Amino acid sequence: MRSANVYDVAGAAGVSTATVSRYFRAPDKLSASTRERVRRAVAELGYLPSGSARALAERQTGAIGVYSFSGHEPDEVWEPSAATNGLQPDRAGEEDIVVRVAGQRRRPRLFPLFADEVLRGAEIECTVRRTPLVVGWQPGTSVGVELEEIARRVDGVVVLPSTVDDEAVAQLSRTKAVVLVAQPAPRDVIADAVVIDNEGAMRALVEHLIEEHAVDSFWYAGSDVGHEHEARRRGWEAALDARGLRADTPDITDGGSRAAARAVIADLLRSLVPPRAIVCASDQTALGVMEALHDAGLQVPEDVVVTGFDGIDAGEFARPTLTTIRQPMEALGRTAVSLLASRLEAPDTAARVVRLPVELVLRASCGCTSVDGGSS
């Protein structure tokens, strides 16, 4: 027997198909008698509305998307043959157990990273709101997904920093509700944003190094892509300029990769004398820098002070523990979803910007104790 469709229900209840659709979307807009007729017809026919068909008719999906950058290092892409020791997927039972020989080493990934925490916040808020969530990753590895592919499946998109340029954001905002995380909306683009004070936070961190630790020579290491990284570099430069210090630094661009930062610093240390401090635009960069310094026989912070930005858990467990700016990463994700939900309910409201506070976390890598403290 074929399944009942909306036309069957409408015929049995003596109403239009639009009324049947309204019964599922906004039953309070129907009279009590009409609701009862449709209810009986639905029950008798065993009708289940098609979510995909309803979404097509209403031009809505009921889902929201998050577009992120990938936190994977190049050697962290999962390979089925390696992960299963070459076992075939159709082999069952005890043979599916992967045996690892004692002494084999696997490079661990330190969770969670910035994107992981923001996505967790988005997931929590979507769970509270009972809203489906679709996640896409910026291309750059074999697991990347184009922004357009995500946008087609959702009503609105939360965009993490350094994933798309302003032109792509402007184009997306013409057809979808958009909320930007940790970056401002481009000029003349209607998009909400949840941000932090990247420039002010970095300036406060560098001022601490100058005033409390008498640091007078610096390198700056980090990505050269994204509004948030531009703002952090401005904060570093402003702190130095205010005290008459030179902001000369070699080109240390790593894209936020721990492995790349380690390689770049290792190369520089072969020909240059390191400064008193290396200020990093992310914790991932800072961790790579500390590894390179250790490899070169230099001690942190005795020989070189190192600081990060983000506040990922790995910094707390590093040796020495990492001085950093801690972002409210989970709150960024939750706030972004909340803003997007409000935008979808009231699409004609003025764009909003919510700024969340950050913390200056002083630890051993700058010469302070390993106890968290302080706020900027």
Tell which residue, 323, 260, 250, 314, has the closest CA to residue 292.
260
3-state SS assignment for residue 140: coil
Which pair of tokens denotes residue 19?
Answer: 């009324």
CA 238 – CA 206 distance, rounded (Å): 9
pLDDT digits (tens, 9 = 90+) for 85-97: 444 444 444 444 4
Which pair of tokens denotes residue 150?
Answer: 């995500």
- DSSP letters for 218-286: EEEE--S-SHHHHHHHHHHHHHHHHTT----------TT-HHHHHHHHHHHHTTS---SEEEESSHHHH
pLDDT digits (tens, 9 = 90+) for 81-131: 444 444 444 444 444 444 444 444 444 555 578 888 999 999 999 999 888
Mean pLDDT by 10 residues, the chain (376 residues): 79 90 81 92 79 49 79 47 44 44 48 85 92 78 63 88 83 89 86 94 97 95 83 94 86 79 94 95 94 96 97 93 96 95 87 94 88 44
User: Distances from the Cα of 252 to the Cαs of 164, 224, 328, 351, 369, in angstroms?
Assistant: 22, 9, 27, 36, 28
Q: How far is CA 21 from the centre of its chain?
A: 37
Calculated CA dihedral for residues 278, 279, 282, 284, nearest 10 degrees: 10
Which pair of tokens denotes residue 52?
Answer: 């995909």
Which pair of tokens denotes residue 367?
Answer: 């010469």
CB atoms within 10 A of CB 59: 7
CB atoms within 10 A of CB 358: 24
User: Distances from the Cα of 129 to the Cαs of 135, 276, 338, 341, 346, in angstroms?
Assistant: 17, 49, 9, 9, 17
Q: What is the pTM of this model?
A: 0.74
Q: In what order do the strands lie in the sheet with 353-355?
A: 133-137, 64-68, 156-159, 177-181, 192-195, 353-355
Which pLDDT belongs to residue 71? 52
Which pair of tokens denotes residue 171?
Answer: 């184009």
For residue 301, is the peptide bond before it cis, meaning its omega torsion is within 30 degrees of 0?
yes
Beta-strand relationship, 353-355 and 324-326: unpaired
